[in-house]
Structure formats: structure tokens, C-alpha cells
Amino acid sequence: MPRYALKIEYEGGPFNGWQRQAEGQLTVQGAVEAALAKLEPGPHTIAAAGRTDAGVHALGQVAHCDMAKAWDPFRLAGAINAHLRPLPVSVVACAAVAEDFHARFSAHERRYLFRLVSRRAPVTHDRGLVWQVGHPLDLAAMQSGAAHLIGLHDFTSFRSSMCQSASPVKTLDEISIAELEYPEGTEYRFSLRARSFLHNQVRSIVGTLERVGAGSWHPSQVAEALAAKSRSACGPVCPPQGLYLTGVGYPQDPFA
């Protein structure tokens, strides 16, 4: 059966996460599979590079699907999008791939962005798309705290108790924080890159660094929390609406 890679973007607010759930629960996977069933009747199962939680967004999620007949990738993307309307999800690129390509297992890198806004007035245009706090944050302190997390570590303190990963040991290749000043407030953009992430790892890291930026934690306490290997040592898990899956890396880019 011909296999296709799909690059998908979506706003996570209306969805109960990526993964298909019980009937009546709107999910991104369920919506895309329903669209595929309109093109080729019958059950469809797609696999994604990452299972985002409810409220989490994507700019570069990657999934693959198998079709009964050969499709022109451009036409397949357009046909899927036609059946996804008016849901806030779309296929932005489609490519024919080898039968052994797997959106999850072939990936060697995931990239996430978290948007945190500091301002007193409630956000309007970015409502549901950022995490907002009403107090100022110290960028240098957050960067100092983040430095303790780069590299190979046991991230037990920074993962959900429901995480299904076989091991808490992961290598965080990059974590950078950029500050964008606006007349109405300040936005902090956390960029993280790793081969794979634990459940709630990014949100746990950002929630902890926010406490550092607010002055409630010293940057060195991030290292202490990491060394504790205990969920209770971590800072709060921040809300999902500021988190974006921005890209997935493969040995050979299927969309190049």
C-alpha cells in the first residue's frame, strides 16, 4: 500500500489531544482519520511523531498514513483539508515515502516551543495560545537555571507520574530562552530540542523555570530538583496552551 507522510498543524484548544479516544471525544488523530475515510471508505489508522496533550498546539506535527491507491501528494493534502474544515487543523505538506518510513520510530529529533507572556492586562489576540503571568520575570536567572538541564540526565523529577516511557533518562540537546519586548508586555519563548521527550517534561521544565524567573527559586535549585529524581521536587506543571510541537527531524527530510 502506498505510504504518505503528512506535516500537520493545529490549534489544540478544541481537541482532547492528538490520540484517538472514545467515541464522542474530538481528537486530532480522529479528525484526520475521519477525513481519510471520506476519501477511501473503511478504517484508517495513522501514526504520529508525538502524542500531544489536550490544549497543545502543533506547527510541524508529522504523521504517516497508508492508502489503497496511489495519490498525487498535492491532491491528497488538498482532499484531506477539504474534509477537515472547519476544524483548526490542516495538512500543510504531503509526500510519498518508503514503506518502512514511520513517523514516530524513524524520527531522531523533536522540537518544541513554549510561549510565556508577562503582562497585567489579559491577552486578547493570543488568548488560548500563550501562558500568561502578571508579574515580571528575570531572563538571566531562567537561562542560568535552564543550563543545568542540558545534556544526558535522569529526568524523573520532570515527568508525569503517568508517563509510559521505559526510562526517565533522556538527552536534552537544547534549551534556549528568547525575550521579546512589546509595548503591552514581554514574551518569553522557550525552545527545546531532543530526540524524544517524557510526558509533561517540557511543561514541567517551563513551570520550574518560571518560578526561577519570578524569584521564588534560585537557579541552583533546578539542579537540586533534577538530582532529587522525585516528582515532588519539581516546580508546577504549567498550562498546555503555550506549548507547540514545531518540528520533527528525520535522517532524510521527507518533505524536502
Catalytic sites, residue numbers: 53
Q: Are 74 and 7 in contact (CB under 8 A)?
A: no
Closest CA to 3 of 139, 98, 133, 128: 98
Q: Are 2 and 64 in contact (CB under 8 A)?
A: no
Distance CA(5)–CA(86), nearest Å, equals 22
Distance CA(86)–CA(147), nearest Å, equals 42
Q: Which amino acid is at 124?
A: T
Q: Are 9 and 94 in contact (CB under 8 A)?
A: no
Q: Give the Å distances, CA to CA, from 45 to 18, 48, 194.
A: 13, 10, 26
Closest CA to 46 of 111, 110, 112, 1: 1
Written as one string, the DSSP assignment of 80-145 is HHHHHTTSSEEEEEEEEE-TT--TTTT--EEEEEEEEEE-SSPPSTTTTTSEEESS---HHHHHHH
DSSP H or E stretch at residue 135? none
